Structure 1
Amino acid sequence: MKHDNEGQKNFFSEISEHQISAKEFFCTVLLDSLNKNFGWRKAVISYFDTHGKFLSWTSWKGIMIDCKEHPYRHFAPKDIIRYQIYEDAVRDHLTYFNVTPRLYKATDIIEPYAYEHSEMVHFLEENFECHYSMTLAFGINAYIQLSFLKSEEEGDFTEEETKQLEEIYVYVANAYKNFKKYEQAKIVADIQEEIIASGERAYLVTDDFMHIMSHNQQAQEYIADILGNEVVNQMSSSVPCSWLPFLLGTSGEGMPVDRVETRVIKDYIFKIYTYKQSYSNGIIDCYHWITISKKEEKKSLEFKSQDVTLTPMEQKVANLMYQGLTYRAIADKLVISYHTVKKHVQNIYTKCDVNSRYELYKWIESTNDL
């Protein structure tokens, strides 16, 4: 395999540019760069959900989404390499931000005397005409694997190749970390824009793993009132928040996906919404925005008693808002622009004489209009 300074410089430059412009980081662009700059032609990116379920793979042969005929389906229960990777990642709380090399050499995990006749070798030979593998693990619970493959004739991975792949891991991991930070910043900005437009005054934005990506001062004061001032310092985007599951009444797995969820804790109303970021490889990253209000602030709500007539499109928008969809998700679902959705929402608020999503929910519930 090629290992020269020029290749390293080119790879670093290409990946740095890729992390800025890419919609998806782990894709054929990465594989092409690895081949061009280091000579690693045979590489496979495997994608899983955060609970370890296989979703798809991308290799030099192309992309293949999971299906009944997918060759990995039969092999998955026997893939002890993947099992080891996932177990280690869960134990170590692996996230997007890890940059310490995590390499798994197949012949280090499977005993040498058993390797030549193992299910792993049979799988590699049958599907990739290869005999040896070295897998790099990335992302939350190692839900992305980048595996480099070699034929029996080429031999197993040498110390020099392992060292090179450790360097590649650091390049890729740092670029991926920056990609996720940039992507998450855009997602949080979109959510904040919607929260502001909704009229809510206190909010938290979290991911599915109890990291608090953003919050405002009002939410901080409410949380302090519920749990005490000392918990405020635990609000972090890189460390899971230990008290967030208590507030939400869930460990994260049961959080709402398609509808808004309401919880009441110590005279505070929590409204939980979901923002889904979907990728072509089958991965879905979930973020949640949580608005907080005092119960007494909402007790005196009064709604118009006269009939309110919403247009068919306004009814659709109001219904989707009631389900907890963001403005951008509504725009995608109805195939209209984001600004058109905002205009419909303004009209709905005016006609219903409400000023926020919460008041719209109460209006819908009181009138049973949708």
Structure 2
Amino acid sequence: MSTRPTRSTQPDLLYTEAEDDLRSAVRSLLTGRADTAGLLGRIETGSPYDPALWRSLAAGMGAAGLLVPESLGGQGATHREAAVVLEELGRAVTPAPYLSSAVVATETLLALDSENDAISGLLKGMATGRTVAVLALPLSTAPGADLPGDTAVNAVADATIADVLLVVRADGLYAVERGSATVVPQTALDLTRPLARVSAEDAAGTRVADAASARAAVHRGLLAGAGLLASEQLGIAEWCLEETVRYTRERHQFNRPVGSFQALKHRMAQLWLEVVNARAAARNAADALATGSAEAPLAAAVAQAYCSRVAVHAAEECVQLHAGIGMTWEHPAHLYLKRAKADETALGTPGAHRTTVAELVDLPAP
């Protein structure tokens, strides 16, 4: 029988003043630069990324280096601050390699020897936004899952714009320049987070970890990604709820706002309760990761199992309660639904995370 880990101190789920300031700065940037009309135009071309926006966010604001220590050119902040950034990126469904590079790849490298010149050089470049590194694993890979070795990998997020691919091989983890690998774009449900097939079996690269160290490092990177993905899902759900409430106040039928109809009030009230609970779960996961708590795996699994469902539900309600306009390509509701559905299977399905929760707290698996 395993024993449930306990946290030595009670988590503080409230946002600090610094986190609120960071949120305001990121939201201001995205409001001014990440307009929906421009995004809809870019995804039709197959190139959703805005390089200038990424430079402003990653380098100008320093968001790419939040998890990187100051000694390596980063901000020396915590997962709580990174979670705030992801909330805002989720609210705007911004195409940016933040989760894949600034969180998953960064955490993977931080788990290794930072005295290694190759690793420290990568982290310094990533902290300043000059380098985008991506872990060459399927986006669906959950923490603790078996890792492929020396094979081509499908559904790698953000691989098409990565400078460096972190490739898992049988004998360890390698840093491979994207130009040395074969990266083939794939059709994705979520057009704001492109996927690609990566073949780097024979590509030259620098080994940054042996097999055992690589497994532990990748697990740490995927765990941080899963825990903080919940904050992106929270941002999606918050925008969908706010936009739906706004629209139903303005849309009239029978000379009344449709939002005043009791049936719709109940649906939005239920969604509000779900979003509040999702915020608590996402903040708990971010705080557990930030404090290095032994409960971090449990907190991340709970957050993913719950927030995935809430994001999808919020996006579905947004589409449905906008009625005809919600079904159109011009309205951004479909972007949020596709991101929510894609996030639902990213870094582990809700079912996989519920199984993890059951194992960690000694309950029968669902």
Would you say same fold, with TM above 0.5?
no
Structure with the largest fraction of strand: 1
What is the TM-score with the length of structure 2 in the denominator?
A: 0.31
What is the TM-score with the length of structure 1 in the denominator?
A: 0.31
- Kindly indicate whether structure 1 or structure 2 has the higher relative contact order, using CA contacts under 8 Å at least 6 residues apart: 2
**Rg (Cα) greater in structure:** 1
